[in-house]
A and B are shown apart, each in its own frame.
Chain A
Amino acid sequence: MTDTTIRPVLEAIDVSKHFSVANGIGDAAVVRAVEGVSLRLLPGRIVAVVGESGSGKTTLARLLARFYEPTTGEIRLAGAPVGRTRRARSEKTYRKAVQLIFQDPFGSLNPLHRVRHNLERAIALHHGRMSRQARDERVASLLERVSLVPASDYLDKFPHELSGGQRQRVVIARALAVEPRVLLGDEPISMLDVSIRLEMLNLLDSLRREEGLAILYITHDIASARYLCDDIVVMYAGQMVEAGPKDEVISNPQHPYTKLLVESSPDPHRDVAVDREAIFGDADELGEPPSLIDPPTGCRFHPRCPFAMERCRTTEPPRAVLAEGRWADCWLHEVGRAEELHEAPMTELITRRLSEETR
């Protein structure tokens, strides 16, 4: 559970990000990509943000990395609000403290330069001028930290000469070069082969343990989030809908969307004797997330929710705080219907509701 005596290193307080886009007929429209999100990252802890594509995960990561200015709300680094006026000096301090790792390791390394050069540039940015020997030592130790050993095997390789996993390790080594306090990983393993994803998760875990990094792990894969993180935050249609310690969120979801997401995820360790028809059974009409240009009023999940009540359609649900660091934004808690969440699988509840409506 979140220890309140540890100060958060990075915080988002009620941040929103709206994008202006041209819609189909040439008029301006607003995409409400992230709305009202608050998040705290603590040293030595890993928070996972899970959600389907389009739920606002990447936008949130970019807000936290200050690639985007929030439309409203505030980002705080070590308790200090990060100013809207962009001064070069504070920008640089921020970049050193907070590093973002992208999904595609290719896109983030300079393909024309060898591993050595890619790392040296990052080191120079942080340390300024260094002796040749000190720099060589630093490069070698960075490669060792990401288990690319012996370093001499990798120093003179170009990015395209490395495997996907090795490339992502170089990306992480480069992020570490500036000695950050926060790593933001935006689906850092989703482009890697299945067989090497765990190595990368184990590496992130050791960085948190051994160096006390605060890590945000963004993923659409709940099982990998559970493997790596302490706490899980679930996003739906640009908003956070539920958060808490990972096992509580996964085994005892308190928001209908979380429950749908968990039940839809493959579980390799599900008892394989379970009937296939039972697993996939009624999962025929589960709906899709809404457009963020004109999101549903009230609860954004209401058009798909088998529990939806009149107030869900009109009024945003209040946050039900269930324990320290454990909450869900859903009306069921307010009206005392939360136990109904556990009556049946979501697919069955949705099918039941649909057949009632058509009757």
Chain B
Amino acid sequence: MTTTALTARNDAARPVGSDTVLDVDGLCVEYAGAGEPVRACTDVTFALRRGEILGIVGESGSGKSTLITALTRLQRPPAVTTAGRVLFHPQDGEEPVDLVRLTPRKLRALRWTSLSIVLQSAMDALNPVMRLGAQFVDALREHDRSMSHTAAWEEARRLLGLVGISADRARSYPHELSGGMRQRATIALALACRPELVVMDEPTTAVDVVMQRQILAQVLRLRREFGFAVVFVTHDLSLLLELADRIAVMYAGRIVELASATDVYRTPMHPYTRGLRDSFPPLHAPVTRLEGIPGSPPDLRALPSGCPFADRCPAVMERCRTELPLLEPHGGRSVACHLHDEGIRP
């Protein structure tokens, strides 16, 4: 694996090694338009290991979808990536490629086969006037022209079976399926060409909890079988605590904490992470009064010069108002908060 070309800092958020599949460094995305640009993602830096499930959590408007679409180059104007790079390391040991600068043609070649994306609404990914199976056949044959039509249908039925959709459903149109089944079909479609990385943006937000559990069980089983890595975006921290290996917490366009799911739950370092954790009442543990996080996030057009969370932070200090805390490593995890600067302890 060639990573020698990298000169950027190599910190806890980005432990770039031979098992890295995606290496995001300093990514900034803005929505340009009339007036001040909206800084929807600022200096986003993280690395994803092969086969890892990285959760990205944050309130609505925190920049999760912007980040995901910039990562996969699916963004549309007025979104512009203004800085940073997204290095994708192919498994076969080829040179890493920077997705931000890749030509559209090369990008198309990577999509589906190396990285694919699942969105909240399955209808965005499925063609409403085409039979389900035919959509799989198209995707499969576009990336493997040697595959016969019959073999592709066979594979389509097998893939649908993997997400619990019976073979006779392959001839259905998307609208003939339940929302949960459509979402499962989308996931199977995303995996059709065996990508190394699957990016999912709120894939279960539109389905009920029983279906959610079913879908996630299937994703985990397929991951065991195929070994892909997952970036899983959601506003539901309680779900990520159960599902993810590591969790990145976003606030106002920045990652403010990145740690293992266990650490996020047991020892959140950022006051926002702690507040978010305490915004989910327990299902079984004794109920205590919880307060959530009063207030709302700042306007991304007029971000404060200090910490963007300062106005809502129960531990705010003098310097938080003026000095922006950056994401810094702290023993295997990272946090962007002045409480954890050298010498200060909460």
Q: A196-B294, A196-B296, A284-B164 are in contact. Are A268 and B280 (CB under 8 A)?
A: yes
Inter-chain contacts of B241 with A (CB < 8 A): 266, 268, 270, 272
Task: Verify B262–A273 contact, CB threshold 8 A.
Answer: yes
Residue count of chain B within 8 Å CB distance of chain A: 48
Inter-chain CA distance A270–B241, complex, in Å, is 9
Interface residues of A in 236-288 (CB under 8 A from B): 250-251, 260-270, 272-273, 276-277, 279-286, 288
Which of B114-122, B134-142, B230-238 participates in binding chain A? Answer: B230-238
Interface residues of A in 278-309 (CB under 8 A from B): 279-286, 288
Task: Verify B208–A195 contact, CB threshold 8 A.
Answer: no
B330 touches A (CB below 8 Å): no
B243 touches A (CB below 8 Å): yes
Inter-chain CA distance A261–B212, complex, in Å, is 11
Inter-chain contacts of A223 with B (CB < 8 A): 238, 280-283
Inter-chain CA distance A262–B209, complex, in Å, is 9
Name A205's closest neighbour in chain B (CB-CB).
Answer: B289
Inter-chain contacts of A66 with B (CB < 8 A): none
Inter-chain contacts of B293 with A (CB < 8 A): 195-196
Inter-chain contacts of B296 with A (CB < 8 A): 163, 165, 193, 196
Q: A267-B238, A268-B277 are in contact. Are A260 and B285 (CB under 8 A)?
A: no
Inter-chain CA distance A196–B280, complex, in Å, is 11
Which of B24-32, B79-87, B191-199, B216-224 participates in binding chain A? Answer: B216-224
Q: Min CB distance, B294 to chain A, in Å?
A: 6
Inter-chain CA distance A281–B218, complex, in Å, is 9
B259 touches A (CB below 8 Å): no
Q: Min CB distance, B266 to chain A, in Å?
A: 7
Task: Verify A267–B214 contact, CB threshold 8 A.
Answer: no
Inter-chain CA distance A263–B238, complex, in Å, is 14
Inter-chain contacts of B211 with A (CB < 8 A): 286, 288
Inter-chain contacts of A266 with B (CB < 8 A): 209, 236, 238-239, 241-242, 283
Q: A227-B290, A269-B284 are in contact. Are A194 and B237 (CB under 8 A)?
A: yes
Task: Verify A194–B235 contact, CB threshold 8 A.
Answer: yes
B213 touches A (CB below 8 Å): yes
Q: A223-B281, A277-B220, A279-B242 are in contact. Are A261 and B214 (CB under 8 A)?
A: no
Q: A268-B265, A280-B220 are in contact. Are A195 and B279 (CB under 8 A)?
A: yes
Task: Verify A276–B243 contact, CB threshold 8 A.
Answer: yes
A91 touches B (CB below 8 Å): no
B-contact 0/1 string along A194-228, CB 8 Å cutoff: 11111100100000000000000000101110110
Inter-chain contacts of A280 with B (CB < 8 A): 213, 216-217, 220, 242-243
B292 touches A (CB below 8 Å): yes
Inter-chain contacts of B217 with A (CB < 8 A): 280-284, 347
Q: Name the contact of A276 in the complex, choosing from B210, B242, B265 (C-beta under 8 A).
A: B242
Task: Verify B283–A195 contact, CB threshold 8 A.
Answer: no
Q: A194-B280, A280-B217 are in contact. Are A285 and B164 (CB under 8 A)?
A: yes
Inter-chain CA distance A288–B208, complex, in Å, is 10
B322 touches A (CB below 8 Å): no
Name A279's closest neighbour in chain B (CB-CB).
Answer: B242
Q: Name the contact of B284 in the complex, choosing from A267, A277, A282, A347 (C-beta under 8 A).
A: A267
Interface residues of B in 267-323 (CB under 8 A from A): 275-277, 279-285, 287, 289-294, 296
Q: Is the interface of B mostly helix, strand, loop or mixed?
A: helix
Inter-chain CA distance A286–B292, complex, in Å, is 33
Q: Min CB distance, B163 to chain A, in Å?
A: 9
Q: Name the contact of B292 in the complex, choosing from A52, A163, A198 (C-beta under 8 A).
A: A198
Residue of B214, B261, B266 with most partner-chain A CB within 10 A: B214
Inter-chain contacts of A284 with B (CB < 8 A): 164, 214, 217-218, 221
Inter-chain contacts of A194 with B (CB < 8 A): 59, 235-237, 276, 279-280, 292
Name A163's closest neighbour in chain B (CB-CB).
Answer: B296
A93 touches B (CB below 8 Å): no
Task: Verify B291–A198 contact, CB threshold 8 A.
Answer: yes
Residue of B178, B210, B275, B279 with most partner-chain A CB within 10 A: B210
Inter-chain contacts of A250 with B (CB < 8 A): 283-284
Q: Min CB distance, A307 to chain B, in Å?
A: 17
Inter-chain CA distance A53–B209, complex, in Å, is 10
Inter-chain CA distance A269–B286, complex, in Å, is 10
Q: Min CB distance, A285 to chain B, in Å?
A: 6
Task: Verify B216–A227 contact, CB threshold 8 A.
Answer: no
Task: Verify A270–B242 contact, CB threshold 8 A.
Answer: yes
B15 touches A (CB below 8 Å): no
Q: Min CB distance, A110 to chain B, in Å?
A: 22
B180 touches A (CB below 8 Å): yes
Task: Verify A195–B284 contact, CB threshold 8 A.
Answer: no
Inter-chain contacts of A286 with B (CB < 8 A): 210-211, 213-214
Q: Min CB distance, A304 to chain B, in Å?
A: 9
Interface residues of B in 103-158 (CB under 8 A from A): none
Name A221's closest neighbour in chain B (CB-CB).
Answer: B209
Inter-chain contacts of B262 with A (CB < 8 A): 272-273
Q: Name the contact of B209 in the complex, choosing from A52, A198, A268 (C-beta under 8 A).
A: A52
B60 touches A (CB below 8 Å): yes
29 contacts between A and B (CB under 8 A): A193-B235, A194-B292, A195-B279, A195-B292, A196-B293, A196-B296, A223-B282, A226-B282, A227-B281, A264-B209, A264-B210, A264-B213, A265-B209, A266-B242, A267-B238, A268-B265, A270-B242, A270-B284, A277-B220, A280-B243, A282-B217, A283-B214, A283-B216, A284-B164, A284-B217, A285-B164, A285-B214, A288-B181, A347-B213
Which residues of B pack against A, CB within 8 Å? Answer: 59-60, 164, 178, 180-181, 208-214, 216-218, 220-221, 235-239, 241-243, 261-262, 265-266, 275-277, 279-285, 287, 289-294, 296
Which residues of A pack against B, CB within 8 Å? Answer: 52-53, 163, 165, 193-199, 202, 220, 222-224, 226-227, 250-251, 260-270, 272-273, 276-277, 279-286, 288, 347
- Given contacts A223-B280, A268-B280, A276-B220, list 7 more A-B pairs with CB under 8 A: A202-B289, A222-B283, A250-B284, A264-B209, A267-B283, A283-B217, A286-B213
